[in-house]
Structure 1
Amino acid sequence: MTKTINDVYMELFHRLKEADDPQPSLSARELTAYACKADKNKTGEWGHLYLDDATVDYAHLLCDKCLDGEPLAYILGEWDFYGLTFLVDKNVLIPRADTEPLCEMVIEQAKKKVSPRILDLCCGSGCIGIAAAHTVKDAHVTAVDNSEGALRITRENARRLGVQNRLIAMNADVRFRPPVNMGQYDIIVSNPPYVTRAEMRELDRSVYHYEPHEALYGGVDGLDFYRSICSKWGSLLVTGGIILFECGWQQANDVAAILEENRFAGIGITEDLAGVPRIVYGYNTEIDDPLE
């Protein structure tokens, strides 16, 4: 029996719903559109478009992967963040809506500057820095990660979103001192690895088995990267510049204390969309010598 795109969507929807997928309608729509090369924004047409058997089988194969725990974003190879579509693969964490308020704060700060320089540490897919460069047309971004796989994704995302001429992707490990001659930045932002040793054992299966552990694990207490960035990379911030972090749901006060220990001032904590204290920031008002 010949099936329409809508028939396949309904089949996937029922399979996902029976398996207790948290968003069966969204997952089924995304998988169906991807497998059938259909426009997910024109589902009204799906009941009139017929498919060959191979396409139907492919849609169900993708659904099998989803039911086996593989994240939808990795199956699709892309995910939306801050109104933009980013390429993702297993070299990078999937961009999450929880990070959008951090991105918004970076953009707000960048708009106050002329040709702002932004340093995005532990950049992963590059979503924060690229979204900032895409929104603030005179911003220049240096995106840093110690994974060549992540940097490849960052460069491709920058190219696809038209900001490749204002973004440099650099391989460096933020646990060590920065390369020489990087200059100084108006804004430093980082969503670093912050999962604790205990939390790693409790991660959801889809995260633990598919997302890169090196982008998740932040040391025994989850704070290793905050300590290194503040102590080793803080000198790259101009006087009056701002540093912003995302952190775990119980880490905000500890990250704020690390900023204070490293002589940052005006330290504040902001909540994410769910009301969780997730963003910690501070200003450089004391470091004048970038080599200090």
Structure 2
Amino acid sequence: MTKTINDVYMQLYKRFKAADDPQPSLAARELTAYACKADKNRTAEWGHVYLDDATVDYANLLCDRCLDGEPLAYILGEWDFYGLTFQVDKTVLIPRADTERLCELTIERARDKVSPRILDLCCGTGCIGIAAAHEVEDAHVTAVDFSDGALRVTRENVRRLGVQGRVAVRKADVLADPPDGMGQFEILVSNPPYVTRREMQELDRSVADYEPHEALYGGPDGLDFYHAICEKWSGLLVPGGTALFECGWKQAADVAAILEAHHFTGIGITEDLAGVPRIVYGCRAAHGRGDI
């Protein structure tokens, strides 16, 4: 029997729902649109478009991969974050809603300044820095990562989202000293690797088997990158400049203590959009011991 796009959507929806997928409608809609080369924003038309058997089989094959644990974003090759669509592949972590509040706070700080310079460390897809450049038209961003794959993806997202000329992409090891010639910044933002040694052994299969471990593991206690950034990179902040970090759900107090140990002022902890205390921020001291 010939099927419409809507028939395929309902078939996939039932499969995802039976498998207890947390968002069966979203997963089915995204996968159906991708497999059938359909517009996911014009689903009202899906009941009038008929498919060949090969396309129906392909949609179900993709669904098999999802139900076997492969993240939907890697199958699609893109994912939405902060209202923008970013290219993703298995060399980068998938942008998550957990990080949107960090992005929002970065944009709020940037809008308070004239031609703000933003340093995005451990940039991955570049989602934070690129979103900030997209939202703040006079912002200039330097996105840093050590992964060649991440740098390639970030450059492609810079191109796709039209912020060339205002987002520079640089390779550097955030655990080491910054390279020469980085300049100074009003805002430093980072969503670094922060999974602990124990947590790495307990990761969900969809993360453990598919997402890059080097973008996850933050040392035995998950805090290696916060120590390194505060010790080695915070000198790139202008006096009074702001640092903002995402961290694990149990780590906020520890990250705040690291900032305090490096003489940041105005240190605070705030929640992500799910109410989890995941964001830590502070200002580089205007003078004295905060200078590096």
Find the residue that maps to 2:86 and give its secondary structure: strand
C-alpha separation between the residues in 1 aligned to 2:175 and 2:148?
16
Cross-structure match for 1:165:
165
User: Would the aligned equivalents of 2:246 and 2:280 in 1 still touch at CA under 8 Å?
Assistant: yes
TM-superposed CA distance for 1:290, in Å, is 11
Cross-structure match for 2:79:
79
TM-superposed CA distance for 1:273, in Å, is 1.2
C-alpha separation between the residues in 2 aligned to 1:242 and 1:290?
12
The answer to whether the aligner puts 1:255 opposite 2:255 as a matched pair is yes
C-alpha separation between the residues in 2 aligned to 1:154 and 1:169?
7
Query: Which one-letter code corresponds to 1:42 in the other structure?
Result: R
Cross-structure match for 2:104:
104
Cross-structure match for 1:115:
115
Cross-structure match for 1:180:
180
TM-superposed CA distance for 1:41, in Å, is 1.3
C-alpha separation between the residues in 2 aligned to 1:144 and 1:288?
28
The answer to whether the aligner puts 1:145 opposite 2:141 as a matched pair is no
Q: Report how many aligned residue pairs link the two structures.
A: 292
C-alpha separation between the residues in 2 aligned to 1:178 and 1:101?
27
**How much is the aligned-residue C-alpha RMSD, in angstroms?**
1.4
When the two structures are superposed, what TM-score results if normalisation uses the length of structure 1?
A: 0.98
Instruction: Flag the 1:130–1:211 CA change in 2: closer, same or farther, 3 A.
Output: same
- Contiguous gaps of at least 5 residues in structure 1: none
User: Would the aligned equivalents of 1:183 and 1:236 in 2 still touch at CA under 8 Å?
Assistant: yes
Query: Which one-letter code corresponds to 1:122 in the other structure?
Result: C
Cross-structure match for 2:279:
279
Cross-structure match for 1:211:
211
Q: Deviations over 1:98-133 (max 9, x none)?
A: 111100110011011111100000000000000000
Query: Which one-letter code corresponds to 2:258 in the other structure?
Result: I
Query: Which one-letter code corresponds to 1:256 in the other structure?
Result: A
Find the residue that maps to 2:275 and give its secondary structure: coil
Cross-structure match for 2:128:
128
When the two structures are superposed, what TM-score results if normalisation uses the length of structure 2?
A: 0.98
Q: Deviations over 1:177-196 (max 9, x none)?
A: 00012110000000000000
TM-superposed CA distance for 1:286, in Å, is 3.9
TM-superposed CA distance for 1:52, in Å, is 1.2
User: Would the aligned equivalents of 2:78 and 2:88 in 1 still touch at CA under 8 Å?
Assistant: yes
* Deviation larger for 103-112 or 13-22: 13-22
Query: Which one-letter code corresponds to 2:252 in the other structure?
Result: A
Cross-structure match for 1:235:
235
User: Would the aligned equivalents of 2:176 and 2:228 in 1 still touch at CA under 8 Å?
Assistant: yes
User: Would the aligned equivalents of 2:264 and 2:290 in 1 still touch at CA under 8 Å?
Assistant: no
User: Would the aligned equivalents of 1:235 and 1:287 in 2 still touch at CA under 8 Å?
Assistant: no
Q: Deviations over 1:186-219 (max 9, x none)?
A: 0000000000001111111101111110000000
Cross-structure match for 1:14:
14
> For residues 20-99 of structure 1, what are the structure 2 equivalents within 5 Å?
20-99=20-99
User: Would the aligned equivalents of 2:246 and 2:278 in 1 still touch at CA under 8 Å?
Assistant: yes
User: Would the aligned equivalents of 2:284 and 2:290 in 1 still touch at CA under 8 Å?
Assistant: no
Q: Deviations over 1:110-161 (max 9, x none)?
A: 0111111000000000000000000000100000000010011001101111
User: Would the aligned equivalents of 1:117 and 1:139 in 2 still touch at CA under 8 Å?
Assistant: yes
C-alpha separation between the residues in 2 aligned to 1:286 and 1:225?
23
C-alpha separation between the residues in 2 aligned to 1:25 and 1:153?
28
Query: Which one-letter code corresponds to 2:47 in the other structure?
Result: G
User: Would the aligned equivalents of 1:74 and 1:90 in 2 still touch at CA under 8 Å?
Assistant: yes
Q: Deviations over 1:13-37 (max 9, x none)?
A: 1122222222111111110000001
Instruction: Flag the 1:252–1:231 CA change in 2: closer, same or farther, 3 A.
Output: same
Query: Which one-letter code corresponds to 1:150 in the other structure?
Result: A
Q: Deviations over 1:72-112 (max 9, x none)?
A: 11111111100000000111111111111100110011011
Cross-structure match for 2:268:
268
Find the residue that maps to 1:182 and give its secondary structure: coil
Aligned-pair identity in percent equals 76
